[in-house]
Amino acid sequence: MSGDGPGVRDRLTDGLYGLGWSAVKTLPEPAARALFRSLADQVWKRRGTAVLRLESNLARVVPDADAARLAELSKAGMRSYMRYWMESFRLPTWDPRRIRESIDVQDAHRLTGGLDAGKGVILALPHLGNWDLAGAWVTTGLKVPFTTVAERLKPESLYDRFVAYRQGLGMEVLPHNGGTALGTLARRLRSGGLVCLVADRDLSASGVEVDFFGDTARMPAGPALLAQQTGALLLPVTLWYDGTPVMGARVHPPVPVPETGTRAEKTSSMTQALADAFATGIAEHPEDWHMLQRLWLADLEPRPGGAPHAGPRGAGPEPRGEAP
């Protein structure tokens, strides 16, 4: 029977997410919000791996926080994380007006101006707020389709659910498989298209080392490489909740391609600039940073060959648009 374990767990995981999409979106909204807030508090009280990892990460973001403050932040963080899931389960039922009214985007002219220039735009985001809502605002509010990348999840049926969900919101979703995805993204950008990537955590061993809240982390090279290869505009974006039904968003100034240096040097400089922009948004709203996995090199587990890796995930799938 032990050989059946992973298959049973995979089917259970897929079934639970399927139940979320089918049942949660039919609840009255006050009931759904109360349910997910209660779930967040229950998870937080259990002090499991995900909550402890979140607190460890937040300790780097807010280094002067004592244990009580970190506990307060992690509780708010789990509520923010569960709000993300509640909204995501219900998002397919929202009409375009509801989507537009649920997000307040500051400096959107940087995005629209870049698209009007016809050279392509890359939006790079950390795991802040609700990425899916921001993406739905782009496809419904601006009426601009875009391409993103999703990490393959287990079971495959769960990955298919997330792909279908995002396609239903107007997104083109590519599997996260390195060079193949980069090639397709580059073609979309050269034709003047939009690419959106979550880029604060590297999923490979080929990421770029950056200084992040005073210690070394690794972030994906993809956004910087794509900007260099295609001439597309690279724009950091940060998201946050402010205690209202409306999510805040900011489009930061573009990250320029350095005029001199090797490709590796340019990539390093640009990725550091992204990390600095992400850090600004995370420091302002640490409770909305949904980083429940290891991130800093000092926290990573060694691979069999000696290279560090992130280890097992702390709280289920993170089906965001991860950068290659």
Q: What is the mean pLDDT of residues 88-103?
A: 92
Percent of the chain with pLDDT over 70: 81
* Least confident stretch, 27-31, 114-118, 191-195: 27-31
Euclidean distance between CA atoms 75 and 69, whole angstroms: 10
Q: What is the mean pLDDT of residues 193-216?
A: 92
Q: What residues pair up with 209 in beta bridges, in sequence order?
A: 218
Which pLDDT band holds residue 99 (cuts at 50, 70, 90)?
very high
Q: What is the mean pLDDT of residues 76-93?
A: 92
How much of the chain is in helix, strand and coil states, percent to nearest 5?
50, 15, 30
Looking at mean pLDDT, say which of 4-8, 15-19, 26-30, 227-231 comes out highest.
Answer: 227-231
What's the pLDDT score for residue 9?
A: 53
Among 209, 201, 297, 199, smallest CA distance to 255 is for 199
What's the pLDDT score for residue 175?
A: 82
Task: Answer positive or negative: Cα dihedral of 30, 31, 37, 38.
Answer: positive
Indicate whether 320 pLDDT > 70: no
Task: Answer positive or negative: Cα dihedral of 149, 60, 211, 272.
Answer: positive
Percent of the chain with pLDDT over 90: 69
The reported pTM is 0.88
**How many alpha carbons lie under 13 Å from residue 230 in its C-beta half-sphere?**
28
Which pLDDT band holds residue 206 (cuts at 50, 70, 90)?
confident
Q: Give the H/E segment covering residue 245.
A: none
What's the pLDDT score for residue 135?
A: 94
What's the pLDDT score for residue 300?
A: 84
Among 108, 133, 156, 101, smallest CA distance to 240 is for 133
249 within 8 A of 237, measured Cβ to Cβ: yes
Euclidean distance between CA atoms 65 and 49, whole angstroms: 20
Going by C-beta distance under 8 Å and a sequence separation of 6 or more, which residues neighbour residue 157? 10, 14
What's the pLDDT score for residue 203?
A: 66
Q: What is the mean pLDDT of residues 232-244?
A: 96
What's the pLDDT score for residue 315?
A: 43
